[in-house]
Structure formats: structure tokens, C-alpha cells
Structure 1
Amino acid sequence: MTKVTTAEQAVAGIDSNMTVASAGVIGWVTPDAVLKALGERFSKTHEPRDLTFYFPCGTGDAMGIKGMDHVAREGLMKRIVSGSYINPVDPETGERPKLMQLIHANKIEAYSWPIGATMHWLREVARNSPGYMTRVGLGTYADPRHGGGKFTERAVDDLIRLIELDGEELLFYPSWPVDVAILRAATADEHGNLSWEDEPLTTANVALALAAKASGGKVIAQVRRIVEVGSRPANQNRLPGIYVDSVVVDPDMMMTTDVAYDPAYFGGTQKELSTLAAPPFSVDRIIANRIAPEVRKHELAIFGFGAATDVPLVMNENGAFENGGIYDYPGTTEHGAYGGIVMPGWQFSANINPDALLDGVTQFDAIDGGLCKFTALSFAEYDAQGTVNVSKFGRANPGAGGFIDIAQNAERLIFAGTFTTGGLKADVANGRLVIEREGKVKKFVSTATSITYRVQEGVAKRNQEALIVTERAVFRCMEDGLELIEIAPGIDLQTQVLDLMDFAPVRIAQPLPLMDAAHFNKTAQAKRHENA
């Protein structure tokens, strides 16, 4: 009996008060057609109601691939637990995502967990354990003493607990059943055996399916194609059909926004690195220029979203990857792509020309085990107590993503971002940085809005090394505070650095070195960008 059905038929069995889980990474591997069908069913029938949604990572981009925004409807969504949230302004409507509107209006119970916890929790549900225990996130916004991951006032239940085991404090995430899992794969046969041979990520899809089946729930899979039973080698099928209840075929599904289909993202073809466009000159490019020399050979590096994403592209432009040099600089992302080059924008998380792919749950085993020695991550705020914040600031509630797991377990850390934000405009003239319009919002603040990671504590207790790299200044994070170690040419120390900080560095290098002039060579970089 075939398991192939329509998206509308597949979601018809979802009842009120269920927990529905789905996985995607921005637009990658997002089962958009099925999520859309569920949202449309509610619009037509006002059923089902009061669902709990569980997304290990921000699923969909709320732009070309709506993902979780399809089900962001008051009445349909009662509660959401997610490892990250997406909050872009739609250029056509000028609106924030529907989900973020519900969060800001306190219309739903919203929780944010570190992605490592969202991935590993599924494994505990799948094996019917009481829950997930971890050291990761102690002292952060996930810690019940600092909010317990609650993102709205309606979120009153304690989904994360502080426990003690053999005298050690740990965070505990109790298990609860997953009633429906909505997956995306590349291919299925009529028995429901699933493979991901032309997807660049598998994320938590297999773990989602096992968690749902262990809970007595159902699994819906969206795929690009159906093939004959037995037409693929068994080792290509990552999820046996016995764990799949319904298969929805969408032959036209996008790989991600702006990418209909490109086999270079999963190793089906190799793209010439010389054809990759170098980042255009900007303040982010200056930051990436400064970070690139910090990347060491033969040290596994993991790059986060934002200015740090441009670092491998800068290294590629500078020739570091020529003649096989790319294999001297192993790199990955939090979602399991190894090798190649991570891409910016909506293509972030997948790599061009990857060598290998791990699923999301296994990747966070590697991250939490400290195997990613170096990381470059973005920052939104840094405060006088040595705390970095990326999880909640201004009108943005993105959550931590993989930030906490990565930062807590790496040995060398760089936090990348502009010195101020909110309208900052800068340029370079004669090799000197010119601030044409200062940002309205300070990023070096007395107290961070949210505690994403305690950098100063990591330096003191775990012997971590950490830098903060901005377009105009570089700081070293020390046990007793920030040490200013470099300044951009053209920048006035007092008025354009110190006066824009709510706290003072504990030390300023004397004499204070200038950042390398090559980072500000706009003409040379512009020519290389045009040639690329």
C-alpha cells in the first residue's frame, strides 16, 4: 500500500493540542509545502487549535520560504519552542515575520533553547528517557535563574530546570511526547524509505522521526521525488520506511531561497573556487579582513552568521585555498557541513564543495565535545561584566542558535561585529576609516539585555582566548575586563571609541598599534571583487 499522499491529506490527521515538530535550517531542508498546508487548513476550518510547535532551528526564512511563518497563526499556535528565530523585514510589505509579530504582541508562549539542547533533547525523547542533562548554558538566558529560555510573558511553564548531580549544577530539559514530525528529504520510495542524497543538510530529521514514533506519533515526509522500491542501495536510505507514515511529493521545492537546485552544495559537482564572488567592500568586509589572519592551519574552525561568514571568502580571495590549500584550513558550520566554503546570506549553513556531512544531532556531539577549536561568531552587545549577547536585543529576538554550545566549548573565540549599530555608515579614504554617520545604538553596554555567553568567565575558568573585532577597534578579553589592543587608522580614540562605550577598557596598549593598513585598502579589494 502506497504511503504517497497530498499535503492536505497528510495534515488532516493533526488534532488540537498536539505537539508538532519540524526541522529546517533557514530555507534549507524546510518542508514548506506541508507547513503551508497546515496553516491553510487552520485558515479554512479553524482546526486544529492550540498546537505546540517544536523547531530545533529556525525553519524557513519568512521570505521566499516561509517555513514556521506558515503556522504562526493565533489560535493554531499556542506554544513554540525553537533553537532560533528569523526576523527580517520583508522588502515588499515592510513587515516583520508573522511569528515575530506574535512574540512581540505576547500572543503565544514562546521559548528559545540553545540548538544543541533542541537537537539532543530529541534523542532523549526517542529513547524514552526522563530528559536531557547538560552543562551547556549554565549562567545564560537558558538558565532558570536568568529566564529559563522564556521569550514571552505567556511562557510561564518551566521547561528548563536547574538540578544538582553529585554536587554539580546542570540544566535539565524534561521530555514530553512528540505527536507529529514533519520532515523533508530528497527521495522516497512507496514504502517510505528516505534518502537525502541531494540535500546539503539533514539537520535533525532522523531524530525527529524517532522521537515521534517513540511517542506513538506520526511522521510526514516531504520529498522531491518517488523512486521504485529497491532502486537505491540500502546504505543510501537514512530513515527506514517503517518510521514514515505519509509521503508528500513536491518536485519543484527550492533548495533554499535564491537556490532552486545546485549540486555543488552537497558534493554532486565541484564549483571552481575562483568563480566565487569576494565580499564587496564594507565595514563587514573590514572585520572579515582582520579575522582572516587569526585562522590557523589544521585547526577545525566553525563560522557563525554575519561578518564572520565572510572570512572564508576573504581567505579564498587572498589565495589561501589555492593548490589544495583549502584542505589545510578545515571548516564547518553548526549544521554539519565539513570542508568547502560556507556561504553568506540566505545560503548560510550549507557549504559549497563540502567533503562530508554530519546530521545535526551528531554535529552538536562534536561541538559540545570541544572538537571545533576555533570559532568566529557575531555579537550584538558586550557588557561590563564580560557578557556577550546575541539572543535578545532591540526588536530582535533571534535566540542563541548554536552560539552557546560553540562559544562554551571552543578554545579560541572571536566575536565579530560593528562597533555601533542602527544607521552606522562608514567608508575609507586614503587608507583611513571615516565614520560618515555614527550608529544610534551602542553595543558596548553596562548590562547586556540577555546573557548569551559569559566570555570573561570562560577566559578565567576554561582558559579560553577571546578577541572582539570591530571595524575600528580590536579588544582582547581578559580575566579582569577588556584590553584595547588595536585601533583603525583615522579613528579618534576618545571620541570614536571610548566615549561610545558605557564602560572603560581595563587597559589600553601603549603604544596603541594601528590595525593593518591592508584591511582598509578599498581600491585593491574592489578590483579583486570585480575580477571575481
Structure 2
Amino acid sequence: MSKIVDAATAVASIQDGSTVGCVGVIGWVTPDALLKALGDRFRHSQSPKNLTFYFPVGTGDAQGIKGMDHVAQEGLMKRIVGGSYINPVDPVTGKRPELMRLIRENKIEAYSWPIGATMHWLREVARRSPGYMTHIGLGTYIDPENGGGRFTEKAHDDLVRKIDFEGRPYLFYPSWKLDTVFIYASSSDEFGNLSFENEALVSSNIALALAAKAHGGRVIAQVRRSVPYGARPASEVRIPGVLVDAVVVDPAMMMTTDVAFDAAFFGGKRKPLSQLPPIPLTADKVVALRAAKEVHKRELSIFGFGAAADVPLVMAEQGIFEGDGLKDYWFTTEHGSYGGIVMSGWQFSANLNPDAILDGVSQFDVIDGGLCRFAALAFAQFDQRGVVNVSKFGVANPGAGGFIDIAESATRLVFTGTFTTGGLEVSFEGGKLRIVKEGKVRKFTTQVEHITYSVIGGVKRGQTAQVITERAVFEVAPEGLILTEVAPGIDVRRDVLDQMEFAPWKVADDLKMMDAQFFIERPLQAKAG
């Protein structure tokens, strides 16, 4: 009997009070038809009610691929546990995601876990262990002493505990079952055998399926196409049909935001780097250009969302990867794409022209094992204690994503971002930077709103760390920040020190100027180390 059904039929058996897990990485590998069908079912029938949703990664873009916003409805969603949240302004409606409204207005129980935990927890559920134990995240917002990952006041339950094991503290995430999971693949036959031959990411697909089936749950897959039984080599089938209960075919599903389909994202067809669009000279580009100087050859380097993701792109623009140059640079993201070029914006997470793609759980084995020695990450706030925040600030509630695992496990850290935000305007004149209008929000603050990671704590453990902005570069020492570089045209007192809510530990005696090339709108010839 064929397992292929329509989306409404696939979600019809979900009961009140169930727990639903779902794959997705922004717009990538998002089973949008299934989430929409479940949201439509509730909208038309007010059933099912009071569901708990488990999203290992923020799912959808809340625009053309609505993802988790389809199910962000009071009454349908009781609780959500997410590895990250999506918070863009829709250019058509001018509104932020409905899920963000539910969180801001305390309408649901919302929790944010690091993506390393959301991935590894699935493995523990799948093998029916008591739960996931880790030292990663101690002292951060996920630590019960700092809130335990709660994002709303309604979130009363302790989903994370602090325990002692052999005299050392750990965080413990108890297991609970997933009743239904939504996954995403390229192809399926009538028996539900799934392959990912046209996908840029695997993410949590396999882990979700195993976790659900271990406790008698249902697995529903959304795919691009159905294929005849036996038409693919068994080595291409990553999830066997015995683990799949229903399949929905959606030939029109998008690969990701603004990309209907592009084989260059899974290595099916290499795209010349000359076809990458030029990056206009902005404050963010200056940050990326300076951060690129910290990238070394033959060192596994991982890049986070934001200005950090622009680093490989500006290196490509400089011509560093011409010929076989790219083979000397080993790039990845927290989502498992290896080689090629890390992309930015809505295409972040997958790499262009990748060499290999790991699943989400295995990728965090790589990250937590310290194999990504260099990490470039964004920052929203940095305080006088040496604590960085990217997880919750102002009206934004993005969560930590992979930040905590990456920051804690890398050897060399670079934190990237503009010096201030909220209306910052700059101009470039003759290789110099001019602040036209200062940002309203200071990012170097007395105390961060949320503890994502203690950078000074990492430095005391032997890490090295820098903070790179468009106008200043700091080294992080155990005692605090050392101002080591400033941009040409910048007044140290007016544009740097007076825009901080605390004083750096010291200004370097040999304070250097950032390279004037970074501030000129023309092709650059500099080479990375």
C-alpha cells in the first residue's frame, strides 16, 4: 500500500496535546506544506489544541516560506522549544513574525536551547536514554541559574537541570517523546524510502525520524518527487521506508528563500565564483574585510550568521580563491556543509559549491569536539565583564543558534559587528571612515541583557579572541578589552571610547591603523594568511 497522501490527510491524525517535531533551517529543508496544512486544520476546525512544538533550528523565513509561523496560533501552540527563532520584518506587510508576537506578549510557553543541545538531545531520545548531559552552556542563559532557556513568563517547567557528575557540574536535558515529526527529502518511493540527492542540507531529518519511532511516534515526510521502487541505489537512501508513515509530494517546494532550485548548493553543478554578486562597501563589509585577515589556510573555519558570514564572500571578491586557491581554505557552518563558499543573508547555512554535507547531529559532534579551530561569529552586545550576547536583546529573541557550542569549542574566536546599531550611517572618503550618523544603540554596554557566552572565561581557559568592528579592533585579555586598531579618520575619544558604556582595560601603546584599503570602493588584492 502506498504511503503517498495529500498534506491534509497526513496531518489529520495529530491529536490534542501532542508533541510535534519539525526539521528546517531558515528556508532550507523546510516542510512548509505540512506546517501549512496543520495550521490550516486548526484555523478551520480549532483542532488539534495545545500542541508542543520542537524545532531544532528556526524554521522558515516567516515570509514566502512561513515555516513555524504557520503554526504560531494561540490555542494550537501551547509550547515551543527552538534552537533559534526568526525575526525579520516582512517587506510586504511591514510586520515581524507572528511567533515573535506570541513570545513578546507571553501568549505561549517559549524556550530557547542551543542548537547543539537540540541536535544531541534527539540522539538521546532515539536511544531511549534518560536525557542529554553536557558541560556546554554552563554559566550562560541556558543554565538554570540564569533562566534555564525560558523566553516567556509562561514557561514554568524546568526543561534543563543542573546536576553534578563525578564532582563536576553539567547541564542535563531530560528526554521526552515526540508524537509526530515532519521531515523533508528530495525523493521517495511508494514505501517511503527517502533520499536527499537534491538538498543542500540534511540537518535534523534523520535524528527526528529515529527519535519519533523509538517511542511509537509517526514520521511524515515532504518530498519533491516520487520515484519508482528500486530506481535508486540503496546507498542513496538515507532514511528507510520502515521509519516513515506518510509521504507528501510537493513538486513546487522552494529550495530556500528566493531560490527555487540551484544545484550549486549541493555540488550537483559548480558555479563560477565570478558569478557571485559584488558586495557594496558598507560598514559590514569593512568588518568582513578586516576579519578575513584572521582566516588561515588549512584550518577548519566555521562562520556564524551576520557580518561573519560575509568573510568568505569578500575573500572570493579579492581573488584569493582563484585557480585552486579555495582548496586551501576549509569552510563550514553549524549546519553541516563543507567546502565551497559560505553564503550570507537568507542563503546562509548552506555553502555554494560544497564538497560534503554532514547531518546536524554529526556536525555538532565536529563542533563540540573542537575540530573547528577558528570561528567568526556576530555579536549584539559585549559588556565590561567580557560577556557577549546574541540570544535576546531589545525586541529581538533570536536565541543562540549554534553560537554557544561554537564559541566554547573553538580555539581562535573573532566576534564581528558594527560598533553601534539603530540608524548608524557611515561614509568613505579617500581611504578614511567618517561617522555620518551615530547609531542610537550602544553595543559595548555595562551589562548584557542575556548571557550567551563569557568570552573572558574562554580566554582564561586558553582561547584567543578579538572583537572586530568597522572603526575599532579589540583584543580580549583576561583583564578586559585592549584597543589595538582604529580606522583611518576615526577620533579615538569621540568615536570609540565615548560610544562605550565602559572603558576598555587599556589602549595599546602601539595603537595601529586599520588598512586603508578596507575603506576604498575598488577591488582589493590582499591575501589572507
Place the TM-score, normalised by the shorter chain, in its bin. over 0.9
Q: Which moved more, 1:475-484 or 1:315-324?
A: 315-324
Q: 1:224 is paired with a residue of what secondary structure?
A: strand
Q: Deviations over 1:304-331 (max 9, x none)?
A: 1111111111111112111111010100
- Equivalences for residues 51-90 of structure 1 within 5 A: 51-90=51-90
Q: Which residue does the alignment assign to 1:256?
A: 256
- Relative to the length of structure 1, the TM-score reads 0.98
Q: Which residue does the alignment assign to 1:522?
A: 521
Q: 2:24 is paired with a residue of what secondary structure?
A: coil
- Kindly provide the amino acid, as one letter, of the partner of residue 506 in structure 1: W
Question: What is the CA distance between 1:341 and its match in structure 2?
Answer: 0.3
> Are positions 1:489 and 2:461 aligned together?
no
> Are positions 1:331 and 2:320 aligned together?
no
Q: 1:370 is paired with a residue of what secondary structure?
A: coil
- Equivalences for residues 159-170 of structure 1 within 5 A: 159-170=159-170
Q: 1:106 is paired with a residue of what secondary structure?
A: coil
Distance 1:236 1:110 in 2: 37
Q: Which residue does the alignment assign to 1:149?
A: 149
Question: What is the CA distance between 1:136 and its match in structure 2?
Answer: 0.6
Distance 1:273 1:61 in 2: 26
Distance 1:498 1:281 in 2: 25
Q: Which residue does the alignment assign to 1:501?
A: 500
Question: What is the CA distance between 1:427 and its match in structure 2?
Answer: 1.0
Q: Deviations over 1:491-528 (max 9, x none)?
A: 11111111111111111012321111111112446x99
Question: What is the CA distance between 1:485 and its match in structure 2?
Answer: 0.1
> Are positions 1:460 and 2:463 aligned together?
no
Q: 2:222 is paired with a residue of what secondary structure?
A: strand
Q: Which residue does the alignment assign to 1:280?
A: 280
Q: Which moved more, 1:504-513 or 1:195-204?
A: 504-513
- Relative to the length of structure 2, the TM-score reads 0.99
Q: Which residue does the alignment assign to 2:310?
A: 310
Distance 1:72 1:30 in 2: 15
Q: Deviations over 1:70-120 (max 9, x none)?
A: 000000000000000000011111111000000000000000000000000
Q: Which residue does the alignment assign to 1:106?
A: 106
- Kindly provide the amino acid, as one letter, of the partner of residue 162 in structure 1: K
Q: Which residue does the alignment assign to 2:300?
A: 300
Distance 2:94 2:61 in 1: 15
- Kindly provide the amino acid, as one letter, of the partner of residue 17 in structure 2: N
Distance 1:354 1:232 in 2: 22
How large is the Cα RMSD of the aligned pairs?
1.1
> Are positions 1:215 and 2:215 aligned together?
yes
Q: Which residue does the alignment assign to 1:175?
A: 175
Distance 2:63 2:138 in 1: 34
Call closer, same or farther: CA 1:324–1:524 in 2, change over 3 Å.
Answer: closer
Q: Deviations over 1:177-207 (max 9, x none)?
A: 1000100100000000000000000100110
- Kindly provide the amino acid, as one letter, of the partner of residue 25 in structure 1: V
- Kindly provide the amino acid, as one letter, of the partner of residue 414 in structure 2: I
How many residues are treated as equivalent by the alignment?
A: 526
Distance 1:176 1:433 in 2: 53
- Equivalences for residues 444-455 of structure 1 within 5 A: 444-455=444-455
Distance 2:41 2:286 in 1: 48
- Equivalences for residues 363-442 of structure 1 within 5 A: 363-442=363-442
Distance 1:280 1:496 in 2: 23
Question: What is the CA distance between 1:232 and its match in structure 2?
Answer: 0.3
Distance 2:291 2:107 in 1: 41
> Are positions 1:243 and 2:243 aligned together?
yes
Q: Which residue does the alignment assign to 1:340?
A: 340
- Kindly provide the amino acid, as one letter, of the partner of residue 321 in structure 1: F
Q: Which moved more, 1:442-451 or 1:508-517?
A: 508-517
C-alpha contact 2:318 2:523 (8 A) present in aligned 1: no
Distance 1:285 1:206 in 2: 37
Q: 1:289 is paired with a residue of what secondary structure?
A: helix
> Are positions 1:41 and 2:52 aligned together?
no
Q: Which residue does the alignment assign to 1:228?
A: 228
Q: 1:398 is paired with a residue of what secondary structure?
A: coil
- Kindly provide the amino acid, as one letter, of the partner of residue 105 in structure 2: A
- Kindly provide the amino acid, as one letter, of the partner of residue 464 in structure 1: Q
Distance 1:121 1:168 in 2: 20
- Kindly provide the amino acid, as one letter, of the partner of residue 278 in structure 1: P
Distance 1:510 1:56 in 2: 46
Q: Deviations over 1:242-283 (max 9, x none)?
A: 000000000000000110000000011010111112321100
Q: Deviations over 1:357-403 (max 9, x none)?
A: 00000000000000000010000000010000000000000000000
Q: Deviations over 1:211-251 (max 9, x none)?
A: 01111110000000000111100010000000000000000
Q: Which residue does the alignment assign to 1:478?
A: 477
Distance 1:228 1:523 in 2: 53
Structure 1: any 5+ residue segments left out of the alignment? none
> Are positions 1:94 and 2:94 aligned together?
yes
Distance 2:352 2:436 in 1: 36
Identity %: 64
- Kindly provide the amino acid, as one letter, of the partner of residue 102 in structure 1: L
- Kindly provide the amino acid, as one letter, of the partner of residue 82 in structure 1: G
Q: 1:474 is paired with a residue of what secondary structure?
A: strand
Distance 1:99 1:348 in 2: 21
Q: 1:363 is paired with a residue of what secondary structure?
A: helix
> Are positions 1:188 and 2:173 aligned together?
no
Structure 2: any 5+ residue segments left out of the alignment? none
C-alpha contact 2:317 2:523 (8 A) present in aligned 1: no
